[in-house]
Structure 1
Amino acid sequence: MIFHIVMQLVNKLEDRGQGTGDRRNKPFRHMFLVSVLFAVSYMLVAGQVWAVDGIALYQKGQFGEARVAFEAVIEENPDDPVALYYLGRLTSEGAKSQAYFQRLLNKHPKHDLADDAFLELAEVKFAQGLYLTARRQYRQLIQNYPKTDRLGMAQYRIGLTFLAIKQADSALVAFDAALDYSDIQAQSYARLGRLEALLQKGQTKKVVQEANAWLVNGAGSLDSDVREIVRAISPESLPAVRSERVQAPKRVPAVVAKEEATEFWIQIGIYTQDRYLNHWTRELKKDAFQTTIEKNKGRKVLYVGPYTTRAAALKDKKQIDKLVGTKTDIKER
């Protein structure tokens, strides 16, 4: 495309030069335009390289460095959809984050990341407590992108908007609708949402029945969350930690000495530049999170913790994910 535009410009200049007697400038014009073509091509290629580097850094948890890489892309191409999306996720300020996502949607409404950007915009509204606005945006996502793999998650989030304002019946309808989608993660969260909605309705017996049936078959990463719900109602009814089908052989004694007990930490990111490390350390401390920095092969890893249980770490993880604008990881150390 760029090559075609530049060549059109070359031809126009040649047409203007014909009949004027100014043929001595033709070699200069060719040289100039070839230089422009080379420079533009270089910038486009460099932008693609920076974007790829940014994604790699992001996937490694090096969020500060990833942001620098994507900002470099935006300097060369302000409308780059990949850079706009990741900068939206990496920006902690709500207004700026929304601006990146909105620009992506305005410029590239059919891009592969457009549905993700739409979901992120709704998530920001949900985090701000604007549940009606968030619900409207989740529904608009379902309408605008009927083939997206985010449909189940959007439907689940609709349920949460009802749950947040104590409309348990409407929440149950939304959670049941989320179960119809093939998104396994959304199905799991929707089942958890069902338990919370039933609790709001005071149907504790049904909560225990559904939760224990789920635990027996394996609740995966939500096992601790489900157990906490049952434990608060009927601790004596809790099944074994895992059914024999899904439980791996234990490698530690049943009674673990205090000094050997596992601790759970939330890994925020891996940094090579102190300014990003210091920024997130300050932001987390403002919200009263206890942070720890670990040096590892010239890099610094930022953690929040420790927690004595995975369930406790999961509770804080949800708030931290919203604060830092990306998904964090829970590590056993």
Structure 2
Amino acid sequence: MAQGMGSQDHSSVIQRMAQAARDGFDSRQMSPAKALRLALARAADALFGLGLTVATVEQRRVPLADVGRTLGDDGLLVLLEGGGGARGALCLDSQILAGLIEVQTTGAVRPGMARPRVATRTDAAMVAPLIDAILAEFDSQLAEDPQTHPPRHFGYGDLVEDLRGLALLLVAPDFDLLRLTVDLGPGSKTGRLDLLLPVIPPPARTPSGKTASTKVAAPAHLEEVVTKAPVVLDAVMARLRLPLRDVLALKPGDLLPIPREALSETQLIGTRGHVVAAAQLGQMNGWRALRLISGGAMPLPDTPDAEPAPAPSSPRKGTDLVPLSGPDQSREPA
């Protein structure tokens, strides 16, 4: 029976080894947790010649309301600033912080637990290059799949005194927490690194259910933008001068005297009051229309002073009367 149990144990070990091999094969696809682990190791070795080992990796979703209860309250707390005004955070506990300071000041990480203390701006300045290097390498590792993991472009922002102050600075509703347990040196110190990044919202979906493309269209040329821009033009048939009391007394159905020459001396006016073209008023397919006679921008001619026109009463001979209301009131296209 003992021999049978030994065979079962041996088989169990082989199964676990095979499962680990399969997991290693499947884990070749880059993930944020794996990218952070590689980024930390490479940045520490490149900047300080510091060898470290990541013992555990954890990734989970954290709402903004739970950030204060999730991150540690000792060590160095840093605000991260990313593209588009995004904000994140990075926390180095007192053990990792002490090890990074020691390797820069003495050349090695001293064995033993470091005494917890309040981080200073000097501490932040000494580890800021490492933080920027970690985040840059993190983006580089995830660049293999930009659709799933677009680059975040985060960098060192500023030292934050406490978790309450950090909660006031963060703006996203949810965050991805990446937590690493790290051994510095040959087991000299063991600490924790927390990286907090805002969750990227999923891409919008089209009515057909397909994911909308996130490709940004190239900016159009200036000529294309200008030629497709909407332009508002007014056709001015004539200019009248009336006393203010007569203008205030106008009501639907009143008639204004318009000279007959206005039909052939209509002006097309731009939004700034300049003459765009001279036109002739007519009809086309039952619609009022304008025929352009000449073009070229020019200043409006000075209108000669005229005596106030009499209040609307009876039509004068030799003029066309245009009603202020009714079916002809709407503006027709030129």
Normalising by structure 1, report the TM-score. Answer: 0.23
Q: Specify which structure has the bigger relative contact order, considering alpha-carbon pairs within 8 angstroms and separated by 6 or more residues.
A: 2
Structure (1 or 2) with the greater strand fraction: 2
Q: Using structure 2 for the length normalisation, give the TM-score.
A: 0.22
The structure having more radius of gyration, on CA atoms, is 2
